[in-house]
Amino acid sequence: MTTGRAPRKNPKVEAAMSRTSPSPIAIEPVAGEPWVKLADGAALAHWTREDEIALNQANRQTEKYGFFVKAFDFLTENRVRGDYHEFGCHRCRTFRMALTEARRHNQDQMKFFAFDSFAGLPDAASDPSVELWKRGALATSEGEFMQMVREHGIYADRVVTIKGFYADSLTPALQRRFRDNENKIALVNIDCDLYESAVPVFDFIEPLLQEGSVLYIDDMFSGYKGSPAKGVARAFREFRARSRFKFVRHLDIGWWGRSYIAYIDPDGPAAEE
């Protein structure tokens, strides 16, 4: 793996993080109206867009980490053995969460696969509602990613990167190699934002799933105004219709994500949406 520079930081966001607690919003009861503690006009008198970004990131990453704590507990309790796959690895945030919880649960045989262009998003043909989702957005280089993995110091020798846009990198040959040489998937994090990125991901993972595989779909309600007929939600709906697996709803992650558990029940009804 190559060694890269540390990721560039946004000075405004860093400044906001330094003056705004990165802790998530805590809902605290009070004795009297409005019965919960709220930030008032004085607390928000100098609130900025950078403050909003910093607090939202703290809230969202806390929600995501809570999911990984629960997911690895589920995998351990149910003896689901396999590897971790992540599609969309910007800034190594959730990838480090997976490494940490794998170590806490003594997953000493698990391998960790990072699938990413490492050059940001591709062109979007599906017209997402998030203006940021343009070609090249959300880019973390392969070198930057691996530097963060090594600095995290957990299972770095078992992290493998697969570089490229998914329509190009997730080839039948690569799928056969994984099917023949690697473990089944225990947990897969699908964080690729766009419909056109998600379609080849779902096709790629189909033969690698097993009963008990957990699918975390990060952008179920992101980028397309929450429409299940668009974006990653649409790609998953289409995948469910053709997959040999069924999927039961498991955990909600914030307002944006949802996890499912794969199972086989050839004689039973389809799993609920």
Query: Over the stretch 218-257, which tens digit does the pLDDT of each residue have?
Result: 989 988 888 999 999 999 999 999 999 999 999 999 999 9
Query: What does the mean pLDDT of the chain come to?
Result: 88
From the CB of residue 192, how many other CB atoms can be counted at a distance below 10 Å?
A: 29
Give the tens place of pLDDT for each residue, 25-75.
Answer: 888 999 999 999 999 999 999 999 999 989 999 999 999 999 999 999 999
Q: Is the pLDDT of residue 87 over 60?
A: yes
Give the tens place of pLDDT for each residue, 5-17.
Answer: 444 455 544 554 4
Peptide bond into 34 cis (omega under 30): yes
CA distance 264 to 140: 37
Of residues 183 and 122, the one with the higher pLDDT is 183
Looking at residue 125, its pLDDT comes to 67
Mean pLDDT of 156-171: 96
> Checking phi first, is residue 190 left (phi over 0); if not, alpha (psi -120 to 50) or beta?
beta
Mean pLDDT of 215-220: 94
Q: Is the pLDDT of residue 133 over 50?
A: no
Q: Is the pLDDT of residue 137 over 50?
A: yes
Looking at residue 13, its pLDDT comes to 46
Show the domains of the chain with their CATH numbers: 63-263 (3.40.50.150)
